[in-house]
Structure 1
Amino acid sequence: MCGGNVWTSCRLAADVAHSVQHLQKSIDERLELLRQGWASLDSRTQDQLAQVHAHVDKGVAEMHARLLAVYGDVEKGQVEAMQQSLVHRESFQAQLLALETVVADVRGRVASTIQSMDATWVQTFHGIRIATAVEQCVADVVAQVVDESAKQTLEYMAWSTQQGFEWQASQVSDAISAASFDARVQHQSLVRASLDEVAQQLATIDRRCHDAITGLRDDHSQVAGRVHQVQDTLVTMAWNIEERSVADTVADVLRSCVTSVANAVNAHDVVGQVQGLGHQIRQVEFKVQRLRNELEEVRQESTQKDECHRLRVSITSIHEQVNALAAGLDTMQRNVAAGVSSDDTSFAL
C-alpha cells in the first residue's frame, strides 16, 4: 500500500514536472512569436513612416519649386510690361517728332511762297513806267498804300497760319499724351488685376499646403503616439503574460495591427491630397500663362488701333489746313492780279 502511494506520488510529480516543462516551452514559444510579431510590426511601421516622410518631403519640395517658378514668371511679366511701355513711349515720341518735322516743312513752304509773292509784287510795280511827274507821284502814293496793305495782309495771314499750326501741334501733342496715359493706365490696371488674382490663388495654395502639412504633422503625431501605446501595451503584456489569457493577447495585437493599417491608409490619403494640390498648382500656372498671353494680345490690339486712328485723323486735319492755305494763297494772288490790272486801266484812262 505504501509502495503504491509512493509510486503514485512519483507519477504525479513526474506529470507535474512534465506539465511545467510543457507550459514553460509553450510560454517561451508564445513569447518568441510575440517578439517576432512585434519586430515585424515595428519594421512595417517604420517603413510606412519612411514612405510617408519621403512623399511629404517630395511634395513640399515640388510645391516650393513651383511657387518659386510662378514668382519668377510674375516678375518677368512685370519687367516685360515695363520694357514694352518704354518702347511704346519712344515710338510716340518719334511720331511726335515726325509730325513736328512735317509742320516745320509746311511753314517753310508757306514762308517761301509769301516771299516769292512779295518779290513778284515788287518786280511788277517796279516795271510800271509813268509818263509824267504827276502820274509818278500818284503812282508812288498808290504803290505805298497798296504795299502797306499787302504787307499787313501777308503778315496777318502768316501770323494766323503760324497760330493755326501751333494750335494743331499742341492738339496733336495733347492727343498723343492722353492716348499714352490712357494706354498706360489701362495696362497698369490689367496687370494689377492679374497680379491680384495670381496673389489670391497663391495665397489659397499656401493655405492649402499649410493645412496639408499641419494635417500630416497631426497624423504623424497620432501614429507616433499609437506606436508608443503599442510599445507600452507589449511591455505590459510581457510583464503580465502569466495573468492574461492568450486570446486577449492575440486580440490586443490584432487591434494594434488594425490601428496601424488605418494610420497607413490615412497617410496614403494625405499623400493623395498633396498630389491633388500639385495638380491645382499646375492648373494655376497654366491659367497665369493664358492670362499673360491674353493681356499681351489686348494691349497690342488696343495700342495699334488707337495709334492708327489718331495718326489718320491728324494727317487728314493737316491736309485740310494745307489745302485751305493753298486756296487762300490762290485767292490772294488772283485779287492782287485783279488790282494791278484795274490800276493799269485807270492810269490808261
Structure 2
Amino acid sequence: MLYLVTGGAGFIGFHLSRYLLARGDRVVGLDNLNPYYSVDLKKDRIQTLTEEFGDRYTFVHADFSRSAELTEALQGLEIDRIAHLGAQAGVRYSLTHPHVYVEANVMGHLNILEYARHSGRVDNLVYASSSSVYGGNTKLPFSVDDRVDHPISLYAATKKADELMSETYAHLYRLPQTGLRFFTVYGPWGRPDMAMWLFTEAILAGRPIDVFGEGNMKRDFTYIDDIVAGVAACLDTPAPDDGKEKAGGSRAPHRLYNIGNNQSEDLSRMIELLEEAVGKPAERNLLPMQPGDVRATYADIDAIHGDLGYKPTTPIDVGIPNFVSWYKSYHGLA
C-alpha cells in the first residue's frame, strides 16, 4: 500500500515511516521542514529513510496548511491511507505564536480532510490528537469518555478542534478516521524541545536543568515503539461504519483512542533514570508551573486495548537508557 505520512520528517512520522517501509509498504513523507526545532535533525531522519529503503520512500517538501500547495505536491500519487501526524507542536510555544497553531493545526487538518474526501481512493485516515485536550481534568487516568471542553492552552484547543472537524467529516462523508491522543512520547530521534532531550543535553554539559512545577509533576511517558505499534494497528483497521458507538462516543466511522504507557511516573523518577544513564548527577533548578501545563497525565488505554489488542511493552527504565545511548551516538559522544 502507499501511505501518506504528514510530519514525515518529524519524530513520530520518521519512526512510523520506518516501520511501514520495513514491512514492505511504500511511504510518501510530507513535511515543510519548519525551523521550530533543528532542521538538520529533520534532514538526517529523511536521509536515514532514503538510505535504508531507496525509492520505496519518497519525501515531499510542502506545507499542508496551504491547500493549493498540498494539492500540487500530491498530484498523481495514488495514496491509499493517511497518517496525519504533522502539526505545530508545543504547549508553551503556543503562548507566543498563536497564529502558527491555527494555520498548521486547524487549516492544515481541514486541508488533509478535504484531500482525503476528494481523492476517491483514501479509505482510512489516522490523525494525531494530544493528551493536552484533557486540560485541567483531575480524574485519573484520562479516559476517551471524559469531557474535554476546557482546554488550558491554544495548542490543546486546536487539537480538540481537529477532533470535532474529523467527527463532522466522518458523519457527512463516511470517511473512516481515528484520532490518537498521544501521551509524552520519547525515544531515539526524539524532539529537542522535549524534557528528555533538554535534560540530557544539560546534564552532559554540566548545566542546571529547569524543572517546572517544583518537580511535583507526573507524566505517562510513552516509548516511541509503543506509539508506532498503536498507530499502525489503527491504520490497518479502519473505524467500522456500522452505526454502533465507537470509542469516544461517535456513531459515525470515527473513534478516539489514548495511546500511552498506562503508567503515570514521577518526574523525579525520570530524572533519576537519566542521571544513571548519563553517568552524572543533575543540578535541579526548581521552577513554578508554566501556563498551559498540567500536574499529571495518565492514559486509560482500555478502549484501544479492547478494540485492537494494543498493549505497551517498554517501561521507562528500558526506554530512557535507549534514548540516552542514541543521543550520545548521534552527537558523537559514545
Q: Relative CO higher for 1 or 2, CA cutoff 8 Å, sep ≥ 6?
A: 1
The structure whose residues are more often helix, as a share, is 1
The structure whose residues are more often strand, as a share, is 2
Using structure 2 for the length normalisation, give the TM-score.
0.21
Using structure 1 for the length normalisation, give the TM-score.
0.20
